[in-house]
Copies of this chain bind each other. A is one copy, B any other.
Amino acid sequence: MLAALITLDGEIIARKKQPTHRASSDKEFLSGIAKLVHELLDDRTDFECLAMGIAFPGPINAEEGIILNTPNIGITDVPVAKMLEKEFHFPVFLSNDVNAGILGEYKKGAGVGSRNVVGIFPGTGVGGGLILNGHLYRGSFGGAGELGHMIIMPQGPMCGCGKRGCLEALASRTALSKELVHLAAVGDAPTVHEFAGTDYKMVKSKVIKKAMQNNETRVIDSVKQNAYYLGIGMANAANIFNPDCIILGGGLVEKLGDNYVKWAAKSMREHGMKDHVENLAVKAASLGDDAVPLGAGLIALERLGNGK
C-alpha cells in the first residue's frame, strides 16, 4: 500500500508505504488504510486535505465507491469510500489502479505532451488504460480499456477470465511464468528452478530478469515470444486508437527494461498499419510507484470539481 500527499498542481510532497496483507475482515482492511493515511496527515499539519483518491487493483463500482469481490485480498463488497469518509470527514473517491496509473503518467510522466495515449500494463494480467482527446476514457459503465481481454488467437491458450486466446493469456507475466516453470522442470531454466522450483506463482519479474542475465537462452526465447504477442496487442491498439504514444508499464516492464520494450515495439511495427505505427512512440512508464497514487489523487480532484 502506498499513500501520498498531492498538491493541487499534482506534485507529490509526501509518501508512506506499507505491505498489504490478506485481511481477516473488512474492518481490519479499512483500519490498515486509515492508519497509513493518518500517519501521513499527522506529519503535515500545514496541509489541508480536500479529498482522498483510492486506486484499487480489482473489480470496483467507481461511482459508488465500492470494492467488489477481491478474493486475494480477502474482502468482498466493501463500501470503502463511504466508510473512510466517516473516518476522515473529506470526500473519498475510488478508481481502478490502471486508470489511475495511466492518468498519472499522462499528466506528469511518460505521456506529457501527448493527447491520445494507450497504456498497457503486463503483470499478473494485462491491464489497459486510455487517454483520448486529453481525458481518461471510461466507456458506458466504466469498463473501457480491457485490452488484456482482446482475443488475438481464437481457441488459443486459456485465460484467467474463462475465455481462450486473450492477449493476457499470451502476453502477461502469468503466461510467461507457466512457460518458465515448464522450462525449469525440463532443466532449461536453472535460475528459475533455484528461486521458484516449478511453482509458477513464485516466478516474479526479478527471477525472470536473473535468468536472462544468466543467459538461459530458452528463457530469453520465451520472453521474446511474450513481447511479440504484446506487440500484436499494441499494433491493434495503434490501428484502433491512432494514439500519439503507447506507454508500457508494470512490474515486467520495470524489471526487464529496455530489451523487453524494444522487442514489443519491433513486433508492433511488424503488425500495425504503416502510417499508424511507423513513427508511433513506445515508452516505458516513468513515474514508477508514484503513477497510481498520483492518478488516484487527480481523479479525486477532478471529481471534486477542482481539477484542472
Q: A: which residues have CB within 8 A of B?
A: 115-116, 128, 132-133, 137-147, 149-154, 161, 163, 229, 232, 235-236, 239-244, 271-273, 275-276
Contacts and interface: CB of A to CB of B under 8 A. Distances in A.
Given A145-B240, A146-B240, A239-B146, A140 B116 contact: yes
A16 to B, nearest CB: 34
A267 to B, nearest CB: 10
B239 A140 contact: no
Contact of A133 (B137, B147, B232, B235): B137
A233 B128 CA distance: 17
Contacts of A146: 239-240, 242, 273, 276
Given A144-B241, A240-B147, A139 B153 contact: no
Residue from the set A138, A139, A273, A276 with the largest chain B CB neighbour count within 10 Å: A139
Contacts of A275: 141, 143
B140 A115 contact: yes
12 contacts: A115-B140, A128-B240, A133-B137, A140-B244, A141-B242, A142-B242, A144-B240, A145-B240, A149-B272, A151-B152, A151-B235, A152-B152
Contacts of A242: 138-146
A161 B239 CA distance: 12
Copy tally for this chain in the complex stands at 2
A243 B140 contact: yes
From A151, A232, A273, name the one whose CB has the most chain B CB atoms within 10 angstroms.
A151
A13 to B, nearest CB: 33
Contacts of A147: 239-240
Given A239-B146, A240-B145, A271 B116 contact: no
B151 A139 contact: no
Nearest to A130: B240
A239 B149 contact: yes
Nearest to A166: B239
A243 B139 CA distance: 6
Nearest to A228: B154
A123 B22 CA distance: 52
Nearest to A118: B240
A153 B150 contact: no
A273 B151 CA distance: 11
Nearest to A164: B271
Contacts of A143: 239, 242, 273, 275-276
Identify the interface centre among A139, A163, A240, A244: most chain B CB within 10 Å of its CB.
A240
